[in-house]
Structure 1
């Protein structure tokens, strides 16, 4: 059950928080605000929500439940297992499985009322057969590749589909045609416009049905890309989906690491594995209770900072499996207490900044957030 933001200090003092080295605070109100913003941008198109990878690391069930209560009705997951777990929480939602219908899973998909994204003619044929066994057409999306060369029907499959569309669609309750943008977060790349052109051309050669093309970044390319359904993922969770713009999304997470120990060290000593950091002057060092086993990037060694009582403390030395070290020399001693919390990700250093420092992307930072964190889901009332 989400707790109100006013209760956060008490939640940080709870027995559950006391048992772990770090806490992940998830602002469901901010997440809902992000979805509502995109829903307004794309209306009258439907704004779905992509909650794969366990809601981008933040918990698919609490994330989707908050969005359902806000008005979202369609949710995309990667595989059947995620779909089954979400169905238990949201019995009336439309849950769409991006990985399609692996051989032998058709009956389970139908039983759980999951909607597969059919990526090949073979999947279509098996889904038709399952519909015939059940005596009624079964719902599905059909994915046409327009340049990603990953999932979706290739040119040969599409040619056969186009030629035999009525018979190949017989027994399928088609909920939409979809494709996926490869370079939408790089507005200078001409491939985005080329994929839009290809998708429109393909739709003109197929039976009419709802269409879906845009991911998070695609939404910000304008109404030409919205069609009937958009599929935001990363934008829901706070990172910037449109790097050519100031971030239009609200931050959703704060990552807090417990101060486990503080020590004073002299000049010219090393800190951490491989002795990569050497003090240039006497320093005060804090050890924080999270590390790469919790998804904090090993490549973030010696980069960025944490915030302690409103003061910046540079991250130093290697990132350990369970520990991050910070130079807290500039933090007033009266504000530096073992057991208090350092903000590792938050308003002064967001997911995108941590990702840039580690040479990766915000998607990876979010989805690697470890299971050891005590998670606190915040919502009003």
Structure 2
């Protein structure tokens, strides 16, 4: 049973977790990243419903898009997710420790030489995108007797990883012969977030034709944005990633997903400057009036990119201070960011208070716009100096037990 901590035992300045019984952020934390696992689960359920009858997997690569692969995988598994995708074997190890042995884990980054034993040890499947990889995997399986299966990745227009359609056609006789060990055939959309991009239809046609030759093998094409292109893109398994974490998979329309992360950073100093004074490296921002500046303990080393800086001609990003948006003043540096708080009541904020960098209306996608990038990069760049707090989703629980065996059928 979770028990709320005794307030008298908490050091002054400690940041409490939003839920009783979960670890509190230490008073020494310069910033706090809160991950709402229940929101991730809600997003997965929405995607699952949108893709019915296709299975909805979970892409948890890059440490769960910066949100914590083990915590995210565990929460999704508890919600019913049975298939996970990662990029590397190391990521697969972390996810395997968090999910039941019955869950399938696919490694997207390809099969490296002499790594078969590592796949077998944790029971995960390589996504094979090259005939040489396939030959090496076959040698390992024959020598070891391993029969855990693998996926085949076919390139239909991304020109990144994957066999050509012609190469994939060459292994169709293997499919027809049976006992082929291939558990999934997949491709990846290059422009799914652009609803009317003709590349989507071309890739769909190419994949449908080749996947139809892989008789009896489940097929997967749709990423987060691909799910919203329609049922014809969804096949047997969909592979949402960014949408799970609150990034808008439909940038030409309103975001259908719930926000997942909140990011706060601590004010380490408040200072007054005179009209005409400059702030930050290069003196690119000049005070046009007597100004109060809050110095916040977050910078580009923490994933708060320098591109969101402001200068005398360009307004940069904003943060929320005491419930109100305030603009960044000058260049963001490695560890610190200056914020103009002149318009706040003087008693509204003081040293040690937290400001909101993501949350309270500031979305990951908005911040990505100021950074000149995409929400994926924002989330995966969040620094390790932030204390992390998890809300909901069995955040501190043990890996779920495998489902109970089916009862034996009664004799007749």
Q: How far apart are 1:207 and its partner, in Å?
A: 2.9
Match of residue 110, structure 2, among 100, 105, 111: 100
Determine if contact 1:3/1:376 at 8 Å carries over to the other structure.
no
Q: Residues 141 and 3 (structure 1 numbering): CA distance in 2 closer, same or farther, change over 3 Å?
A: farther
Match of 1:263 in 2: 271
Match of 2:60 in 1: 51
SS in 1 for 2:92: helix
1:308 pairs with 2:321: yes
1:237 pairs with 2:223: no
- Determine the C-alpha separation between the residues in 2 that align with 1:15 and 1:186: 41
Match of residue 369, structure 1, among 382, 387, 392: 382
Q: Residues 173 and 343 (structure 1 numbering): CA distance in 2 closer, same or farther, change over 3 Å?
A: same
1:324 pairs with 2:337: yes
Between stretches 158-167 and 71-80, larger displacement belongs to 158-167
- Deviation string 1:31-52 (CA, Å, 9 cap, x unpaired) is 1100011011111111000000
Match of 2:391 in 1: 378
Q: Residues 366 and 127 (structure 1 numbering): CA distance in 2 closer, same or farther, change over 3 Å?
A: same
SS in 1 for 2:111: coil
SS in 2 for 1:17: coil
Match of 2:208 in 1: 200
1:18 pairs with 2:24: no
SS in 2 for 1:89: coil
Structure 2: segments with no counterpart, 5+ residues: 8-13, 311-315, 395-412
Q: TM-score, normalised by structure 2?
A: 0.87
1:151 pairs with 2:161: yes
Structure 1: segments with no counterpart, 5+ residues: none
SS in 2 for 1:32: helix
- Determine the C-alpha separation between the residues in 1 that align with 2:164 and 2:49: 33
- Deviation string 1:60-105 (CA, Å, 9 cap, x unpaired) is 0011111111111111000101101211222422111001210110
Paired residue total: 376
1:28 pairs with 2:28: no
Determine if contact 1:51/1:64 at 8 Å carries over to the other structure.
yes
Q: Residues 136 and 364 (structure 1 numbering): CA distance in 2 closer, same or farther, change over 3 Å?
A: closer
- Deviation string 1:299-354 (CA, Å, 9 cap, x unpaired) is 01121211111111111110110011100011111111111110011132111001
- Determine the C-alpha separation between the residues in 1 that align with 2:180 and 2:142: 10
Between structures 1 and 2, the one with greater helix share: 1
SS in 2 for 1:201: helix
SS in 2 for 1:133: helix
Determine if contact 1:138/1:171 at 8 Å carries over to the other structure.
no
Match of 1:351 in 2: 364
Q: How far apart are 1:161 and its partner, in Å?
A: 2.2
Q: How far apart are 1:18 and its partner, in Å?
A: 1.7
Determine if contact 1:131/1:171 at 8 Å carries over to the other structure.
no
- Determine the C-alpha separation between the residues in 2 that align with 1:319 and 1:344: 13
Match of residue 122, structure 1, among 132, 135, 140: 132
Determine if contact 2:185/2:214 at 8 Å carries over to the other structure.
no
Match of residue 84, structure 1, among 93, 99, 107: 93
Match of 1:283 in 2: 291
Match of 1:141 in 2: 151
Q: TM-score, normalised by structure 1?
A: 0.94
Please tell me the root mean square deviation across aligned C-alpha atoms, in Å: 2.2
- Determine the C-alpha separation between the residues in 1 that align with 2:331 and 2:39: 33
SS in 2 for 1:218: helix
